[in-house]
Each structure stands twice: as C-alpha cells, then as structure tokens.
C-alpha cells in the first residue's frame, strides 16, 4: 500500500492510498535536481539585502550569505521582521523595516525610498507560480513590497481574472517595469525542488525562471490530491488559492479535488476576510474599487464551479465549510474515504505533493 507524505505547514501529513487507486504521483525531488547556482561572488559588494519572503529556500540562501566573509557589514530589510527573526535569530536587531517615505520615478510609480539607498542592493525571493502574474519572482516580489498601489495596479492591468500560471502577463510586465530602472540593484530568484533550491538565478528573465520549474505531463484523473507546498506556501488560504492552478490540468473538469493546506495564518487577504464576514459589498466586487486580494474571490468561485473541492486545513469549520462552501475532512484518511465513496472504489486519484514547485499538463 503506497504511502505518500505531503507537506502540511512545518510538518507532513501521511496519505495512504491503495495501489489500485493511485493514478500518477507528481513529486518533485531535490535529489533529482542538479542545483544551478549562478555566480554569486560578483555580488560581494552588496551592502543591503532585501528578504522578499520567508520561504525555506529564501531563508537558507540568506543564511549562507551570513556565513561569508564581511557579512557583518551587510544590512537586511524585510516586510516580515518577526518571522525572519524567528527563523534566523542571528539577524535579530539587524533587520530594517521599509521606509514609509517614497520617491516618484520617471514612470510615475511611488516607491519606498529604501530601494534607493546608497550602495549595491540585492533582492532575494523564491519563485512560485501565480494566476495573476504567471510567476512571482524576485522582481515582482520587490514591487509588491515597495511600490505603492502595486496590487491594485497589477489587477487593473489584466482584462480579466482568468488564472494563467506560467504565462507572462500584463500584470507581470507592469511590476517588472516599476523596478527596472532602480540603480545598483540585483534580483536573485530561487526556483525550488523538493523543498530545496533547484536553481539560484541572478537577474533571470521570465523564461529562465519558468524553464527551471519541474514540468510533467500526466493522464487526467477523476480526482486529484493537491499538496500546496508546506510552510511558506500553505500558510494562508490566499496562498493556496493562488498556487493550485499550476497543476489542475491533471484532473478532469467537474472532478474531485482535495486541497491540502494548513492555513496556520488564516485567510491571508483582505478580500477573503471581508468575504467571510459578509462585508465584501458590491462596491468591493467591481473593478472600480479594488480590495487587496479581490482576484482571489474570483479564483475561489471558479475553483468551486469547475471542481468539487474538499479542503484539508486548520481553518475553523465555520470559515471553510459554512462561509466558503468547501467540503471538509478531519484528516487525510477521512478525506480519501469520502472521495472514493463518491467516485467508486476502483477510481484513480492523481497526487501532487508540492504544487508550488511544478507545472502539470494533460498528457
């Protein structure tokens, strides 16, 4: 009987499935990747490092920088001081918060003055597929953190909210342009594989990043188990809703979908919070007034329209089931039992362990 371990927050949950029910297992593995590390020695003159996220691969690279000669002179800046300090206690007292002062650029963007600090600067972030941008890389992460109105502008740049993971979009182009002319700044994007760095790319193109992701073709099944990716990826429902689209070609429309995401930090976006509390009024649904994460309400509704979705998470039942309309289960065994009871005991179930790391296409 196959046993599959799926990341769930900082731990893993065991999914036990009969051999006759296991369709295809999509499991990016670190030991299958030859890590591509572009030369980082050229970045030795860096004076300020921007930490774009708290994903394990990002923090691991930052930790490696701390072990280099001269690292004591480095300054670090992040939007998430508490979480970075929790993971990297050696940075306690050394983390700067982004300045509230802004600088107006020639392109009309208002950007935190932190980005224009003197000296060479480095932005580090881990890439992940995204339905709005195609991919969120270090450039996009930098713009989201430091450009005023970045989320609203990115959403308005799209003609609609149809999810298009791995396709370069108008939203990506807008934010790429917002930071392109910042002087003395380099962007380091990490592409993960099996929870480790599969590639570390300096100033890569969109295609470079996309081409570094694990990609595979599979036969569509009637059901799919989707592990979002664990800590750094499944912290919120917002993150889960943005990640699942990269693998859904592996399941038939109107099929069964089990999404495994801990959601330890809750819903994640302002729009989802307003939705579950009944305060997302008509003025918030229109394109005339943007609420951060509004596109995620579209993703939520589209997901439920196209699939029968079960959510295995730590969200309160009143949110997951009553307010958001997901089916729920108390554990993976109960969830799989429900799927197979509904579909038939001989049905095949495809399983993706880390949707954040791969692109699945229909074979």
**Structural domains of the chain ordered from first start:** 3-30+214-362 (3.90.226.30), 39-203 (3.40.50.11440)
Mean local confidence (pLDDT), 305-331: 92
Cα–Cα distance measured from residue 95 to residue 81, given in angstroms and rounded to the nearest whole number = 7
Mean local confidence (pLDDT), 72-100: 90
Mean local confidence (pLDDT), 273-293: 74
Mean local confidence (pLDDT), 294-318: 94
Contact call for residues 27 and 353 (beta carbons, < 8 A): yes
Instruction: Say whether pLDDT at 56 is over 90.
Output: yes
DSSP string, 230-241: STTTSSSHHHHH
Q: What would the pLDDT profile of 164-221 be if each residue is shown by its tens digit? A: 999 999 999 999 999 988 888 999 999 999 999 999 999 999 999 999 999 999 999 9
For the chain, the 3-state helix, strand and coil shares in percent, each to the nearest 5, are 35, 30, 35
Cα–Cα distance measured from residue 217 to residue 360, given in angstroms and rounded to the nearest whole number = 6
Between 256 and 285, the more confident residue is 256
Instruction: Say whether pLDDT at 57 is over 60.
Output: yes
Between 24 and 71, the more confident residue is 24
Cα–Cα distance measured from residue 320 to residue 299, given in angstroms and rounded to the nearest whole number = 15
Q: What would the pLDDT profile of 237-281 be if each residue is shown by its tens digit? A: 999 999 999 999 999 999 999 999 999 999 999 999 999 988 886
Residue 73, pLDDT score: 80
Between 355 and 105, the more confident residue is 355
Residue 288, pLDDT score: 57
Kindly state the tokens that stand for 199: 């590639």
Residue 31, pLDDT score: 72
Kindly state the tokens that stand for 274: 């307003």
Contact call for residues 58 and 125 (beta carbons, < 8 A): yes
Contact call for residues 313 and 263 (beta carbons, < 8 A): yes
Bridge partners, 46 (sequence order): 120
Residue 337, pLDDT score: 87
- The whole model's pTM is what? 0.92
- Which helix (H) or strand (E) segment holds residue 153: the answer is helix 150-157
Cα–Cα distance measured from residue 298 to residue 284, given in angstroms and rounded to the nearest whole number = 12
pLDDT class for 287, splitting at 50, 70, 90?
Answer: very low
Mean local confidence (pLDDT), 78-103: 90
Kindly state the tokens that stand for 115: 């980005």
The mean predicted confidence, pLDDT, of the chain is 89
Contact call for residues 140 and 133 (beta carbons, < 8 A): yes
Residue 154, pLDDT score: 95
Distances from the Cα of 313 to the Cα of 213, 228, 296, angstroms = 26, 11, 18
């Amino acid at each position: 009987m196959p046993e599959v371990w799926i990341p769930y927050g900082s731990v893993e949950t065991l999914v036990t499935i009969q051999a006759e029910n296991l369709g295809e297992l999509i499991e990016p593995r670190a030991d299958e990747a030859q890590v591509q590390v572009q030369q980082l020695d050229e970045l030795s003159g860096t004076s300020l490092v921007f930490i774009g996220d708290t994903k394990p691969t990002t923090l691991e690279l930052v930790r490696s920088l701390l072990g280099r000669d001269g690292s004591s002179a480095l300054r670090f800046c992040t939007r998430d001081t508490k979480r970075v300090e929790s993971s990297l206690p050696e940075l306690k007292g050394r983390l700067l918060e982004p300045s509230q002062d802004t600088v107006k650029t020639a392109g009309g963007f208002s950007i935190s003055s932190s980005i224009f600090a003197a000296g060479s600067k480095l932005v580090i972030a881990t890439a992940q597929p995204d339905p709005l941008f195609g991919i969120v890389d270090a450039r996009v992460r930098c713009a989201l953190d430091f450009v005023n109105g970045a989320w609203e502008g990115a959403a308005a740049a799209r003609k609609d909210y149809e999810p298009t993971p791995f396709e370069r979009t108008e939203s990506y182009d807008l934010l790429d342009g917002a930071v392109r002319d910042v002087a003395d700044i380099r962007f380091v994007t990490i592409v993960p594989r099996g929870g480790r760095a599969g590639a570390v790319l300096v100033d890569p193109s969109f295609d470079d990043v996309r081409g570094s992701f694990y990609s595979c073709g599979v036969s569509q099944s009637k059901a799919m188990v989707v592990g979002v990716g664990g800590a750094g990826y499944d912290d919120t429902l917002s993150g889960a809703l943005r990640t699942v689209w990269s693998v859904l070609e592996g399941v038939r429309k109107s099929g069964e979908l089990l999404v495994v995401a801990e959601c330890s930090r809750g819903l994640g976006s302002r729009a989802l919070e307003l939705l579950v509390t009944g305060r997302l009024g008509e003025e918030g649904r229109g394109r005339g007034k943007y609420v951060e994460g509004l596109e995620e309400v579209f993703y939520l509704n589209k997901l439920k329209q196209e699939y029968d979705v079960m959510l295995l998470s730590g969200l309160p039942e009143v949110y997951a089931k009553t307010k958001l309309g997901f089916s729920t289960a108390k554990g993976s065994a109960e969830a799989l039992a429900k799927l197979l009871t509904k579909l038939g005991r001989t049905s095949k179930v495809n399983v993706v362990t880390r949707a954040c790391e791969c692109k699945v296409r229909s074979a």
